[in-house]
Chain A
Amino acid sequence: MTEFILLLISTVLVNNFVLVQFLGLCPFMGVSSKLETAIGMSMATTFVLTLASLCSYLIEHYLLIPFDIQYLRTISFILVIAVVVQFTEMVVQKTSPSLYRLLGIFLPLITTNCAVLGVALLNIKEQHSLFESIVYGFGAAVGFSLVLILFAAMRERLVAADVPTPFKGAAIGMITAGLMSLAFMGFTGLVKFS
């Protein structure tokens, strides 16, 4: 049990996908201008990431390895991710049309969120078990959500802040992201994971 908690903490904080491994930067910059959208996006990404890491584990171990076709890993994982994203899009459109309009193009773009494919591939590389894969995927999503929501909250304040003109908009956003990344680097060594 402690192992799973350590794994969770290590993926959320120490090896944060956005700020330490620099995966999934596109939605991180793209959807963070409003807190509400950021929360919606993080919920959608959490769902997709957890489900995709589960599905990709099943596919790797019950399809690719038995038939000895691991060289098709990337394409089949992309297929899985695309299906999960499409499914999520339908559910969101049905349950919350306003959120669907807010997320807009970023919802289908979860497919190309490299964190999603990254988690699926890292699961295989680290030889995680089924439950570990789910925890890893969920942890990555929680880390992504945490950072995205924090960053969105900061950007909402930055809009009103007295920023020098050349730094206004995306520029100050990038600098803030860099400072956040530095702060997250401080977690290194928090968990000794053997």
Chain B
Amino acid sequence: MIAALITLGILALIFGAILGYSAIRFKVEADPLVEQIDAILPQTQCGQCGYPGCKPYAEAIANGDEINKCPPGGEATIKHLADLMGVEPKPLDGAHGTEDVKKVAYIREAECIGCTKCIQACPVDAIIGASKQMHTVIVDECTGCDLCVAPCPVDCIDMVPVKETPTNWQWKLAKNAGGTVGDINIKELS
């Protein structure tokens, strides 16, 4: 009995060592460009670009897909992507949705029936709660992707704009004719 335990244990140890070594020896380096693109994308995992998440879209961009399919990222993301990829920035592709003010989900807790459907829909696990218990949204984690709104059977989820505080306030810059946010006009500054 003891011999069996020790033998199998040693066997497992040796195999573990071999596999561990070969995992380092045969490590596959991911495309560094994909990592860089993924870092620029807003990580809402909303799927509005038509891909199942930000990482797949990053891979698609690296393989030559358009850079203007990300509504949550908006013009700023497109501009960064254009810089990185060395292409001209384009206006957001309207087919994938429009850029909106930043919102977070809010669950009217009195109406929540605790069905957990919104928890399953949330791509970033920003909703906590259990079956037959009221759910709530972790505001800091919520990416405002709207995906939890549709599954709610009692429609108790609202998308509320994020309140402006001194930490997230930004200049309201006028949109120019192309729809892109330009830099501040010289005239406005002086």
Answer yes or no: A112 CB below 8 A from chain B CBs. no
Question: In the complex the two chains form, is B11's CB within 8 Å of A79's CB?
Answer: yes
CB-defined contacts of B22 to chain A, threshold 8 Å: 87, 90-91
Instruction: Tell me the complex Cα distance, A90–B3, Å.
Output: 32
What is the total of A-B residue contacts with beta carbons within 8 Å?
40
Chain A interface: which of B12-20, B75-83, B111-119, B127-135? B12-20
CB-defined contacts of A75 to chain B, threshold 8 Å: 8
Within 8 A of B (CB), among A90-131: 90-91, 93-94, 97
A72-B28 in contact given A79-B15, A83-B18, A87-B18 (Cβ < 8 Å): no
Within 8 A of B (CB), among A57-87: 59, 63-64, 67-69, 72, 75-76, 79-80, 83, 86-87
A63-B26 in contact given A69-B3, A83-B19, A87-B18 (Cβ < 8 Å): no
Question: In the complex the two chains form, is B28's CB within 8 Å of A87's CB?
Answer: no
Instruction: Tell me the complex Cα distance, A72–B8, Å.
Output: 9
Within 8 A of A (CB), among B54-90: none
Q: How far is the CB of A92 from chain B (nearest CB, A)?
A: 9
Q: Could you tell me how many residues of chain B have their Cβ less than 8 Å away from some Cβ of chain A?
A: 14
A63-B11 in contact given A91-B26, A94-B28, A97-B28 (Cβ < 8 Å): yes
A67-B4 in contact given A79-B11, A83-B15, A83-B18 (Cβ < 8 Å): yes
CB-defined contacts of A64 to chain B, threshold 8 Å: 7
Q: Could you tell me how many residues of chain A have their Cβ less than 8 Å away from some Cβ of chain B?
A: 19
The chain A residue sitting closest to B4, CB to CB, is A69
Question: In the complex the two chains form, is A79's CB within 8 Å of B12's CB?
Answer: yes
Question: In the complex the two chains form, is A93's CB within 8 Å of B18's CB?
Answer: no
The chain B residue sitting closest to A55, CB to CB, is B15
CB-defined contacts of B19 to chain A, threshold 8 Å: 83, 86-87
Instruction: Tell me the complex Cα distance, A83–B26, Å.
Output: 15
Q: How far is the CB of B55 from chain A (nearest CB, A)?
A: 16
Instruction: Tell me the complex Cα distance, A93–B25, Å.
Output: 12
Answer yes or no: B23 CB below 8 A from chain A CBs. yes
Question: In the complex the two chains form, is A90's CB within 8 Å of B26's CB?
Answer: yes
CB-defined contacts of A76 to chain B, threshold 8 Å: 8, 11
Instruction: Tell me the complex Cα distance, A97–B28, Å.
Output: 9
The chain A residue sitting closest to B10, CB to CB, is A63
Instruction: Tell me the complex Cα distance, A91–B22, Å.
Output: 9
Instruction: Tell me the complex Cα distance, A97–B19, Å.
Output: 19
Within 8 A of A (CB), among B1-52: 3-4, 7-8, 11-12, 15, 18-19, 22-23, 26-28
Q: How far is the CB of B176 from chain A (nearest CB, A)?
A: 44
Q: How far is the CB of A18 from chain B (nearest CB, A)?
A: 28
Residue from the set B19, B26, B27 with the largest chain A CB neighbour count within 10 Å: B26
CB-defined contacts of A63 to chain B, threshold 8 Å: 7, 11
A69-B7 in contact given A79-B15, A86-B19, A90-B23 (Cβ < 8 Å): yes
CB-defined contacts of A94 to chain B, threshold 8 Å: 26-28
5 closest Cβ pairs, A-B complex: A94-B26, A90-B26, A83-B15, A69-B4, A67-B3
Interface positions of A (Cβ within 8 A of B): 59, 63-64, 67-69, 72, 75-76, 79-80, 83, 86-87, 90-91, 93-94, 97
Extra pairs beyond A90-B22, A93-B26, A97-B28 (15, CB < 8 Å): A63-B11, A64-B7, A67-B3, A67-B4, A75-B8, A79-B8, A83-B15, A86-B19, A87-B19, A90-B23, A91-B22, A91-B26, A93-B28, A94-B26, A94-B27
